[in-house]
Structure 1
Amino acid sequence: MLAETICSAVSAAGLGIAAITAYRKKYLSAARIAAWSLVPLGLVMTGAVEWAFATVFSPVAWAGFGVLGVAWLLLLTVRGVERRRGGRKAAGRGADPAAVASGASAAAGGGDAMARPASRPASRPTAGATGGADDFSDIEAILKKHGI
């Protein structure tokens, strides 16, 4: 009840200031002040102020925020531990996750095209396969093109 009264008084004062500003021929500023002064009144009329004060002064609400915080910290901790260990372990206890994923996608798609990761093109050999000789061929071609 007190919060609603305060918000209504703030709105009334803001509208008074807007009227004085409009009297001084500063219509854009008066319209801006009037708009901002109507916000607390709108919040009172929608019940947002009552809800906010009920939440702020409710021990059950604060306990709920505490539970959400603990859950968030627990999820972050688990994620950090998984990153240190190298990811989630496969269902087969120690099986290679990449092998399980490629086998599953090959069975679902029925072909070898599904088994290859989309991020690595199949036509390009990796650095380990060629011994590192092909690593800089693209860069060398760009430098030769520009005469460097």
Structure 2
Amino acid sequence: MLAETICSAVSAAGLGIAAVTAYRKRFLTATRIAAYALVPVGLVLTGVVKWVSDIAFKPSVWLGFGLLGVAWLLFMITRAVERRGGGSRKERRAAARAARGEAVEPAASAPSLGAGSSPEAARTRGKQGKQSGSAGTGEDFSDIEAILKKHGI
């Protein structure tokens, strides 16, 4: 009964403020205030206020909300632990094996063919390179390969 009285008083005050605002020729604002002022009375007439007040004053309902909060907290904690790399030993070992098992493609360390070249042209260039004795390109990539191996890539 008290909640209904409070809602009625809030609506009456809001409608009064809307009337004063309309008197000042601010009709759009007055209409918006009147709409907000009618919401509490509408909630009382639909029975929502009684339902909410019944929920708010029952200890069993608050216990239920508390349990839902604890469940939500536990879900969030487990998600945070999973994101940080926690989990079981089996999961960590499986992830480590999968990381080690991913091999780099064998030809990945070879220099690219360049834009618009065909494999046949690359073969002929490779034969010419062997004949001319250009061993310098292999040394350039050996440094890069050493760095990649150092980092486990």
TM-score normalized with structure 1 length: 0.55
Aligned equivalent of 1:8:
8
For the pair 1:128 / 2:113, whether they are aligned, the reply is no
Structure 1: unaligned runs, 5 residues or longer: 100-125, 142-148
Look at both structures and tell me which one has the larger radius of gyration over its CA atoms.
Answer: 2
Residues 28-51 of structure 1 deviation map (CA, whole Å, 9 limit, x = unaligned) = 121111111111111111222222
Aligned equivalent of 2:41:
41
Distance 2:88 2:42 in 1: 52
Alignment of 1:1-148 (within 5 A): 1-80=1-80, 83-85=85-87, 128-130=104-106, 132-133=108-109
Distance 1:132 1:76 in 2: 41
Pick 1 or 2: higher relative contact order, CA cutoff 8 A, min separation 6: 2
Q: SS state of the match for residue 84, structure 1? A: coil
Residues 63-119 of structure 1 deviation map (CA, whole Å, 9 limit, x = unaligned) = 101111222233334445555126986xxxx989xx9xxxxxxxxxxxxxxxxxxxx
Aligned equivalent of 2:148:
none
Structure number having the greater helix percentage = 2
Judging changes above 3 Å, is the alpha-carbon distance between structure 1 residues 87 and 70 closer, same or farther for their aligned structure 2 residues? Answer: farther
Q: How many residues end up aligned between the 2 structures? A: 107
Letter of the 1:36 counterpart: Y
Letter of the 2:49 counterpart: V
Structure 2: unaligned runs, 5 residues or longer: 116-153
TM-score normalized with structure 2 length: 0.54
Aligned equivalent of 2:151:
none
Identical columns (%):
58
Q: SS state of the match for residue 85, structure 1? A: coil
Letter of the 1:28 counterpart: L
Residues 120-145 of structure 1 deviation map (CA, whole Å, 9 limit, x = unaligned) = xxxxxx772237537x96xx97xxxx
Distance 1:130 1:15 in 2: 79
RMSD: 3.6
Q: SS state of the match for residue 25, structure 2? A: coil
